Chains A and B, each alone.
Chain A
C-alpha cells in the first residue's frame, strides 16, 4: 500500500500541485498523461531523487518522504532501463542483493530464480550493450524485482519498443506482476498501453491528477473534457444545455437535439460521445424507444476490430460499429438511423479560451 498525500514540488519548468494518490497492495496502477505533465517527476519523488516541497509519501503506513533512496526499498525501472554497462546480466541482477550484503549462495539462488521467471537465464553472461530492447527491459525488471521491493515503479517501460513487441511485453508485465504479487506503478503516455495492463488508471494533466479510477469507470464517467479527450472520446461538440426532469436536453446547432442522463448545468456546454456508444441502424430496423436521429453515411473505414462510420446528422458524428458485416460500404450516401443512448452523452462545462 502506497499513499501519496498532497504532494507538491516545484522544479522550475515542471511543477506538481497537491497530488494525492493511493495504490493498493497487489494493484497494477497506470499513471497516464501527455508528455511533459510531470509523471516522471512524481515517480522520481517516490524513488527519492527529488524532495517534495510539501506533502508526504507513505508506504505501508511508514513515512518515507525524508528517507534516502537506498532506505526506501522501492524498485525503479527508468525509461532507458539504465542497465549498468560494466556488468553482465547476472551481475546486474545481483547488484541490489549484494548491496544488502546477503550471503553469496542466497544471492545466486535468488538471481537464478528471477532469471528463470523472466526467461533470461541464457543471457546471464551478456553485457547490456549486446541486448535487444525487450531483453534489456526484462533485465531491468528482474534487477528491480529480485530485491522484493514494496512497490515497483516503471517509467515508460514499453515506449522504446516497437508496436508488436510492446503488446507482447505488456501481457508479460501483467503475468509477472501476478506471479510475484507485486504492487506496480506504471507510467505511460499512451492510452492503448494503459488499457493493456491497468487495474486502475490515474490521469495527470499540468501537474495535477485529473482523475483516478478503474478503466471502465474513467471511460464511462470522465471527470473533465481533458480526460474525455485523452481517453479517446470523439464527437466533441458545442451545445446549449437545458435541465429536464431526469437529465438534460442538449441543443446542437439548428437541427439536432439530444437527450443525456447527465444532470448538467444550464447554458453553454461541450458534449462528448464515445464512437463505440453510437449505433448505426439501417432505416428498416428502427429500434423501439427513440433516441434515434436520421443521418446520411458520409464515409466508411474498416479497421481491424471495428468499422469507423462517419455520419452527417446536421453535424458530423463518428461511430465505431462492431456488428461485423452489417455496415458495409454500400451504405455510403444512404440514409440511416443513428441511435445515441442518453447514457452515452457526456456533458462538460464549455472551455473558456
Chain B
C-alpha cells in the first residue's frame, strides 16, 4: 500500500465500502429469512418429502423448512459433491498439463488462448449453458450422441460435469498457470544439467515446487464447479420430478436420483415458493464455500501443504 495520505484514505474507503456491503448482505438476508419464517407462501407444491411433511405437520414450523430432514436434500448434496469432484479431477487432468505448456513453451497463439480462457471466467455462466445446449443438440455432436446411443444434455453424468467443466477449467487453468509461472525455469535447467530428462525434472522438481499452488488451484476449480448455477440450469435442468425409472441403477445406488444440483435446487425451492428451504440450501452452500476458501487460506498462510 502506498504511503501517501490520499492513497491511504482511498484504501480505507474501499475497506469501509466492503464492510458496509457485507453488513447489508447479512442483515438483508436475515431480515428476509426472519420475515418469512413461519409462513408458507402458497405456490406450486414440490413433490419432496419435506414438503409433504411440511403440509401435513400442524406443529410450529421448523427452522428453514427443516431441510436437513429431507432425503432429497442429502441426495442433492451427494450429487453436487460427486459431480464437482469429478469436474475438478477432469479439469486437473486436462488443465495442469495445459497450464505447464502455457507457462513454459512458446506456443503460437498463446495470447489468444489466454484471452479466450480469461473471457470465459468473466462470462455469465448461463451464456455458457446456452452455448453448450446449442453445441450438443445440433450438428455433428448431436449425431455422434445419437449414433453412440447416449446423450449429454439433461443428464447427471456427464451433463452436469460438462456444464461445470467449462468454467472450472478456466478458473483452474489460470491458477495452475500462475503456480507454474512462480517456479523459476532455472530449477529445470539445473535439474537437466545434472542429468535429468525433461520428464524427470518435471516430476521431481517443478511439480513439487508448484505443489501448493496446484492444490490451491484444484480447490478453486472445485469451488467454482460447486458454485456453478446458470450453465447447469440451462444445460441440464432439474431432475427431482423425473420418475425413478429414468435414473440409471448406478445413480440410485449412489443416492443421487431425484435430486438437483444444490444451486439449482435452491433456485427451484424459492421459485416454487419454498423460501425457507431455499435459504437452508443457500446456507449450506455458504458453509461449503467458506470451508473451501478457508482451506486455500491455510495453504497460502503456511506456504506449503504438507
Contact = CB atoms under 8 A, between A and B. Distances in A.
A74 B196 contact: no
Contacts, number: 67
Interface string B160-196: 0000000000000000000000001011011111111
Interface stretch (A80-88, A175-183, A199-207, A338-346): A80-88
Interface string B102-114: 0000000000000
The interface size bin for chain B is 10 to 19
Binding site of B, secondary structure by majority: helix, strand, loop or mixed? helix
Nearest to B211: A86
Interface string A204-234: 0000000000000000000000000000000
Given A84-B205, A99-B200, A78 B194 contact: no
Contacts of A85: 209
Contacts of B193: 47-48, 69-70, 72, 74-76, 144
A69 B192 contact: yes
Contact of A69 (B184, B189, B211): B189
A99 B189 contact: no
A122 interface: no
A235 interface: no
Contacts of B205: 84, 86
B254 to A, nearest CB: 37
Contact of B196 (A44, A48, A70): A70
A107 to B, nearest CB: 13
A96 B195 contact: yes
Contacts of A68: 192, 197-198
Interface of A: 44, 47-49, 68-70, 72-76, 78, 80, 82, 84-86, 95-96, 99-100, 143-144, 147
26 contacts: A68-B198, A69-B192, A70-B193, A70-B195, A70-B197, A70-B198, A74-B193, A76-B193, A78-B186, A78-B189, A82-B187, A84-B187, A84-B205, A84-B209, A85-B209, A86-B205, A95-B194, A95-B196, A96-B194, A96-B195, A96-B196, A99-B194, A100-B195, A144-B194, A147-B194, A147-B195
Interface of B: 184, 186-187, 189-198, 200, 204-205, 208-209, 211
